[in-house]
Structure 1
Amino acid sequence: MPIEVGQPVADFAATATGDTAVTLSALRGKNVIVYFYPKASTPGCTTEGGDFRDRKPAFDAANTVILGVSRDSLRAQENFKAKQDFNFDLISDQDESVCTLFDVIKLKKMYGKEHLGIERSTFLIDKDGKLANEWRGVKVTGHVDEVLAAAEALNAAH
């Protein structure tokens, strides 16, 4: 059953870059952005990550943590983060547990073939662990500005 806006998000544990164990419960008191992207080091994912990187000081000012998630290996995530100089952690979700929690694995078509993959999606979780906003089927251009505006509004409301 997909998470709904206004509902608490179940705690999850995942391994992130820097061999960091990430749990949602440990981030209580901060807003959390969990954004899902199909594949590390591909053009759209690089652009989206760069947009989050470039806006990180504004997200920090809005008391908001950024986490990127894909099914790539931890090594691929480490390389992606280092190469793009990302200033936030990337989660390796090879068992798809976090993807499943947020219901982002979808049937996709590429070159006429169907496969299961991550639908580019972003979720904003408030400091109490409730889902505040969701964006599914994201188009990269202008997306991070929209997420930042929502995070700032959420921070101002609390």
Structure 2
Amino acid sequence: MSISIGQPVPDFTASATGDTRVSLADLQGRQVVVYFYPKASTPGCTTEGGDFRDRKDAFDAANTVILGVSRDGLRAQENFKAKQGFNFELISDKDETVCRLFEVIKLKKLYGKEHLGIERSTFLIDAEGRLAREWRGVKVPGHAEEVLDAARELHAAS
């Protein structure tokens, strides 16, 4: 089942850092950025998370919640969040429920070997719970700023 732009995103509930359970339904009325990254504490994922962290006040001003998602366990997510000073929650999606919902598990190649992994992707959900924008195969430099611009535009239009 594929989620298309303008369509409602099915509700999901997942374990997250800060001993929380994140539910999309609980965030109704706020815009939500859900960004998927391959692995906690790796260079690209650290840079991407830092870019979102450094813009959190601006995302807040645009009525937008940031959620990071990877298949790492909660302990790895907690350590990553603490070490990098992330000011938003990270979802542990070990069973790939959220990853499958957004179809971000792709066949990847690393050192000539194929494996299934997360394709770096970001989704912007509007305040009514509909998919507003998506970015797939994300390159980290400038990405958080591009997402912030889209969040600001969406918020201004609502």
* TM-score normalised by the chain length of structure 2: 1.00
1:138 corresponds to: 138
Aligned equivalents of 1:2, 1:42: Cα separation in 2: 29
1:105 corresponds to: 105
Q: Secondary structure at the match of 2:48?
A: helix
1:79 corresponds to: 79
Instruction: State the shift of 1:90 in Å.
Output: 0.1
Q: Secondary structure at the match of 1:18?
A: coil
Aligned equivalents of 1:66, 1:75: Cα separation in 2: 19
2:5 corresponds to: 5
1:121 corresponds to: 121
Instruction: State the shift of 1:85 in Å.
Output: 0.2
Q: Which runs of 5+ in 1 are unaligned?
A: none
1:39-58: per-residue Cα shift (whole Å, max 9, x none)? Answer: 00000000000000000000
Aligned equivalents of 1:41, 1:2: Cα separation in 2: 29
Q: Secondary structure at the match of 1:58?
A: helix
Of all paired residues, the percent bearing the same amino acid is 78
After superposing on structure 2, the runs of 4+ consecutive aligned residues of structure 1 that deviate more than 4 Å are: none
Task: Read off the aligned partner of 2:128 and give its amino acid letter.
Answer: D
Q: Which runs of 5+ in 2 are unaligned?
A: none
Paired residue total? 158
Does residue 60 of the first structure (1) align with residue 60 of the second (2)?
A: yes
1:46-99: per-residue Cα shift (whole Å, max 9, x none)? Answer: 000000000000000000000000000000000000000000000000000000
Q: CA RMSD in A?
A: 0.3
